[in-house]
Amino acid sequence: MGGRVAKVCLCLTGKTLARDLEVLEKYRRWVDVAELRVDYLAPDERFHIRRFPRLAGIPTILTVRRKADGGRFIEGEGSRIVLLASGLAFADTEKRHNFAYVDIEEDLDVPSLEEAARTFGTRIIRSYHDFKGVPTDLAGKLNALRRNGDEIAKVVVMPRGLADLALIHEASASLPDAEKIVLGMGSLGTPTRILAEKFGSMLSYTTPRGESDLECAGPGQPDPIDLVDIYRFHEQGPSTKIYAIIGKPDFSPATPAIQNPAFTRAGLDAVYVPFPADSLPGFFRMADEIGIDGVSITIPYEQSFVPYLTGRSVETEKIGVCNIAVRSPAGWYGYNTAAASFADSLLSVLGKKNLRWKRIALIGAGCVARAVAAELYRLGARVCILNRTELRAKEIAERYGFAWGGLDGRGVQLLDHFNSIVVQATSVGMEPDIEADPLALYRFSGRETVMDLIYRPEKTQLLKRAEESGCTVISGREMLQRQVSRQFKLFTGIEYPAE
């Protein structure tokens, strides 16, 4: 693999060699190495694996993974050893068309196979997989895999929280000069694959998402195009600044696809990475270990993040919600970009400077709704807050002297008096539940302006229904872009670059 720069490996899980070659050709421009997963091949295809490196034309890893290690091979160990040996046999004397690497698990001890690999110029990757967690002595495990001085140690583990990412990084950093592959599995492990260079890993394994017949060879493997084009994988280096977005473990934010291209256009050595978070202490432990410079904060952490701040903007102090924090020498300084981004989006469409005399219904009582309520109050609107849990609506409404109610018949009656503008600030209707409508009981007259803060899908069921009734509709995309622009400036100190 050469050098100290991490490389992208494409896992090939087709049933035939021809299909694997077709996929490799399609994704060639994004990858550096290919892994032939022989355990996914049809049995009659396995007789021809020896010719694959020549046809692939890039360094190739030979892997026959047992089911116990997350693979598909279910025949006996003797059959697997014969298959591995057949892949290495009849080597090209000039070693141009041999497998560049062979992946052998830690418990496979076959000296003749290892000697054949070395004779044929094939590097041995000695691998260990833990699907249950992260071993307490991961550094020791990593060091034990480095046999004979020329083998590449590979550990792939299943982090159970962000604190485990810190342990993975610590283990890798304990062997700074060793050739190694160190990765986490699952959604919590995906950051280790995006930041393979930072984690000291020679490879990041990928599986293409756009191929319906191919299975992902490992949980958490990213798409190669996303890895390279969105996360700037080949541009990352030792000095790359890391910015994060954290949210609940199953979140899938759109902002990396907006923020990372801006770093490219601005010529900045930085990357913006999603971190599914299990807890805030785990995040801070991990952020200190790998050096995160700034973070966007989403559900469910916008309020619980505030007590960890050493400094707060006026908006954050007033609203009690923080959706971005930047590291300073004194600690984390928190901001709220949602309030101003919402106001700018709505006022630009209305062509107004304020909302005096406007009667507005705010749907929701979460953290975003808190920011919106503060802005509606500042702009002079008359507001009714409606929420499924009425007490939460009441808590916010009483702070500003607003009306409040539930999302029931009484709430709909209130909405009839506060419907000049309707602002939807819940997650109802967001992907994947795109058919949901938080105001299904309400019938639009066509005179309302309806703003849904959801940005995926761009046009929710609520907006579609409002538009069909003749209403002016505003998508959450407008507010999202304004938030990203503000966050970019807080992270970098410069304006968000124009397209």
| Secondary structure (DSSP) of 433-452 | -TT--TTTT----S--EEEE
pLDDT at 498: 77
Sequence letter at residue 215: E
Element (H, E) at 140: helix 138-144
Per-residue confidence band for 1, with pLDDT thresholds at 50, 70 and 90: very low
CATH fold for the domain made of 7-220: TIM Barrel (3.20.20)
Q: Where in the chain is the domain with CATH 3.20.20.70?
A: 7-220
On the question of pLDDT at 2 being above 50, the answer is no
pLDDT at 3: 46
Q: Is the peptide bond before 497 cis (omega within 30 degrees of 0)?
A: no
Per-residue confidence band for 93, with pLDDT thresholds at 50, 70 and 90: low
On the question of pLDDT at 50 being above 50, the answer is yes
User: What mean pLDDT, rounded, does the chain reach?
Assistant: 94
Nearest to 337 by CA among 493, 451, 479: 479
pTM: 0.92
- The stretch 110-129 carries a mean pLDDT of 93
Q: Which of 47-56, 84-93, 463-472 has the lowest mean pLDDT?
A: 84-93
Distance (Å) of CA 161 to CA 72, 99, 166, 278, 286: 28, 36, 10, 6, 10
Nearest to 290 by CA among 165, 138, 152: 165
pLDDT at 223: 97
pLDDT at 317: 96
Per-residue confidence band for 149, with pLDDT thresholds at 50, 70 and 90: confident
- Specify whether domain 256-336 bears CATH 3.90.1170.50: no
Q: Where in the chain is the domain with CATH 3.40.50.720?
A: 339-479
d(CA 75, CA 60): 23
Q: Which residues pair with 23 in a beta bridge?
A: none
Domain 339-479 CATH (choose: 3.40.50.720, 1.10.3720.10, 3.20.20.60, 3.90.1150.10): 3.40.50.720
On the question of pLDDT at 477 being above 50, the answer is yes
On the question of pLDDT at 301 being above 60, the answer is yes
